Amino acid sequence: MIDLTGIHVPDNAPEAGACVRIERPEEGLVRLVLDPPHRPKIAVFDVPLLRDLDQALEGIAADKSVRGLVITGREPLSFVAGADIEAIAEINDSEVAAKFVREVQGLFQRLYKLGRRGRGRILTVAAVGGPVPGGATEICLACDRIVLADHPKSHLRLPEVMLGILPAWGGTSRLPRRIGLPLALDGILTGKTFRAKQALRAGLVDRLTKPEYLERIAADVATGRERLRYRGRRGWKSILIDRNPIAGALIAGQAQKSVLAKTHGHYPAPLAALAVAVRAPRIPLRDSLAAEIEAVKPLATNPVTKNLVTIYRMSEEAKKLAELPNGSAVAQLERGAVVGAGVMGAAIASLMAEKGLSVRLRDLDTSQLDTAQAEHEREIDKKRKRRRLERHQADAALDRFERTTSAEGFARCEIVIEAVAERLEVKRAVLGELAELMPEGAILATNTSSLSVDRIAETLPGPERVVGMHFFNPVRRMPLVEIVRGSKTSDETVAKTAKLAVRLGKTPVVTKDVAGFLVNRVLGPYLDEAMRLVAAGIDPKAIDKALVDFGMPMGPCELIDEVGLDIASHAGASLEAAYGERMRACTWLKPLVEAGRLGKKTGGGIFVWRKDKQGRAVNLGLSPKLPPRGSLELTENAIIDRLVLAMVNEAARALEEEVVRGPRELDLATIFGTGFAPFRGGVLRYADTLGAKQVVERLRALESTGPEPEARVGRFQPAGILSGLADSNGTFHAST
């Protein structure tokens, strides 16, 4: 029997036997339906489900009449969401982690040995659909055959490295055996998603069927009425590639280079997974499973893992913002409008149409609308070619996207998002016109990045329905949306807007209506300090290298070129106007802006940029037309301190002012909005790691050193909450 003593048990855990339904639809066939009553949305491999699955398999093993076994979920498109993240989060002992892995491996091995591939007497079939992540994929790999519902929602993946661990319930050992080492490494090291037809071509699944036929086809396969060839046999490829130590070494070497290029050595999980996966096809399965256990031990309690697991939990918690404070649901929005067909507005409208909303995009400039239409068609066609969308879904996404130069049809819209020029009078005029046309309860949302939601709402009827919905550029890639709550914005408006953000695949964070909201306010001092260092003589390439080495996705100088020097300068001026001396903006960029050298979009800013054949911007080096610079020299650590502690200090002030609900929300926003190094857990988690006393000491040292100290009056003066934590030896996350 499985022993999960010491592993987190949900408070609402049901009685033994309640999580797995045992059905006998015909003689010789058993169907195990994973349907835990305490997980009404989707099953999770927690202690109660694992316990009941173990009990069910024990009974089947003792029943000599069973010839076929089907394991499935409560619905064709609902299987299991993988391991219980709460259980993983609470493990603080490497031996407990090893025990957890060993016990579940043993459970999956009992299933494997029941099956004919494990030389048992029963043909075992996983009948799955919808998302099949992590442990859900691993239990499928332990079965003889995998039948997958052919549906856009269906996919298999092993995302464990994203949580700082590795697929240790047999996934790292079994996947290379099944689909070959090269493709398996792609899946294990990157969390690659195998959608239905991709999974079939790769040999990961053995059969596709329509969701409504999943139960019948799985029964036919399990009873032998339909014979399937096991698609995991690789023949000569297995001998020449997977089990060849020379080929394995070459593949591992390339994979390691790729991992280090992406992670800079900050994430240990991919390298640990690589070491196990490369050897997996060449050694007995039991030895490879043992290697998974040994690899998990140092990872499970590693601070990187704890931070990544916390980020995942915070992103899941953010989805609850789509509910009212009492937990009740709000209606889902189905018809929307976007005003302004520039880069942001067009992308927002395109994403809304793709995700199922009927949307009208309005602009007075027909050429802008033409460009938006063409870009929408390109994006949808790309998704169709990559099989992310079926043809009928792609056609529907195109049909839902309408463009107009008038306000015709807006009377039926439930939300409008304006993305027009960043001028108060323009936004008021646009939303004021639409407020008269749209239904009384329709939401008036602004995508402003610098203007006050309350100021915009002042002249509008029904200020309770006015809200900020601040997307980040590029819209499709950036995962965060700031939901900016004005002083009169209603709970229902916030919840409906957050629900829309979640539907669009974004993570919402609710912020107070203050200048810069949260992300731009925290990012401002970081970027401004970078420009002061460049002006003082520090090489922009050295600054960018230091911050990339720290863990940022790109350096601050490249980021400014990406955003646009004009936009960065405008944001800096807005923050200075709101916060005064401590946010005084560096003027070094002004000559570049006046000369029209605005960054990537003009081919030159701090760096020179050219597009390659794929249309990607390539950095050709420092621009020869930069304004005069000084001769300051600083170490890499000094550069990091100046930029990152400027962020920490402003984040502490934002928390002090309750711009967001708490430190968890603030850290989530800085990771998803600024790209702050995920393995460090967020800006405030990083401050906790250093210790408040250390942060305060470093800030005080920075107050009187570096370039133009008089220009940063107050910037490095420790925030009151930081000083208080330093005196009490406290942390931001002490109570979270």
Reduced to 3 states (helix: H, G, I; strand: E, B; else coil), residue 435 is helix
CB 495 within 8 A of CB 322: yes
Band (243; pLDDT cuts 50, 70, 90):
confident
Mean predicted confidence (pLDDT) in 254-275: 94
Tokens standing for residue 624: 């020869």
* CA of residue 586 relative to chain centroid, distance: 33
Going by C-alpha positions, the residue among 43, 45, 36, 32 that lies closest to residue 16 is: 36
Mean pLDDT over each residue of the chain, to the nearest integer: 94
The Cα angle at residue 499 between residues 495 and 500, in degrees rounded to 5: 120
Burial (CB count <10 Å: 0-12, 13-18, 19+), residue 18: middle
What stretches of 490-552 adopt beta strand conformation (E)?
507-512
DSSP symbols for 619-633:
EEEE-TTPPP-----
What mean pLDDT is predicted for residues 664-684?
Answer: 96
Q: To the nearest 5 percent, what fractions of the chain are helix, strand and coil?
A: 50, 15, 35
Tokens 């076929």 sit on residue: 68
Give the alpha-carbon dihedral of 114, 117, 119, 120, to 10 degrees: 20
pLDDT band, residue 612 (cuts 50/70/90): confident
Confidence of residue 388 (pLDDT cuts 50, 70, 90): confident
Measure the CA–CA gap between 239 and 231, rounded to whole angstroms. Answer: 16
Q: Would you place residue 708 in the very low, low, confident or very high pLDDT band (cuts 50, 70, 90)?
A: low
Q: Which residues contact 219 (CB under 8 A, 6 or more apart)?
A: 25, 26, 29, 31, 68, 70, 225
Q: Calculate ∠ Cα 229-176-306, nearest 5°.
A: 130
The answer to whether 164 and 114 have CB atoms below 8 angstroms apart is no
Measured CA to CA, the distance from residue 239 to residue 390 in angstroms comes to: 37
Task: List Cα–Cα distances, 243 to 118, 176, 282, 616, in angstroms.
Answer: 20, 10, 5, 38
One of 151, 470, 570, 733 is an active-site residue; which one?
470
Rg over alpha carbons for the chain, rounded to the nearest Å, is 28
Strand partners for 26: 29
Asked whether the CA dihedral 682, 470, 715, 606 is positive or negative, the reply is positive
CA distance linking residue 566 with residue 574, whole number of Å: 12
Residue 470 a catalytic site member: yes
Question: Does pLDDT of 634 surpass 70?
Answer: yes
List pLDDT tens digits, range 316-334.
999 999 999 999 999 999 9
In whole angstroms, give the CA distance from residue 153 to residue 78.
10
The confidence score (pLDDT) of residue 230 equals 83
Q: Per residue in 89-123, pLDDT tens?
A: 999 999 999 999 999 999 999 999 999 999 999 99
- Strand order of the β-sheet with 131-133 is 131-133, 155-157, 194-195
Q: In whole angstroms, what is the distance from residue 589 CA to residue 604 CA?
A: 12
Distance CA 648, CA 183 (A): 41
Structure-model confidence comparison of residues 713 and 616, the more confident one: 616
Give the whole-angstrom CA distance, residue 329 versus residue 707.
53
Residue 517 has pLDDT above 70, yes or no: yes
How does residue 229 score in pLDDT terms, banded at 50, 70 and 90? confident
DSSP three-state, residue 460:
coil
How is residue 710 annotated by DSSP? G
Q: Model's pTM, two decimal places? A: 0.92
User: What domains are there in the chain, each with its CATH number?
Assistant: 20-301 (3.90.226.10), 321-513 (3.40.50.720), 520-728 (1.10.1040.50)
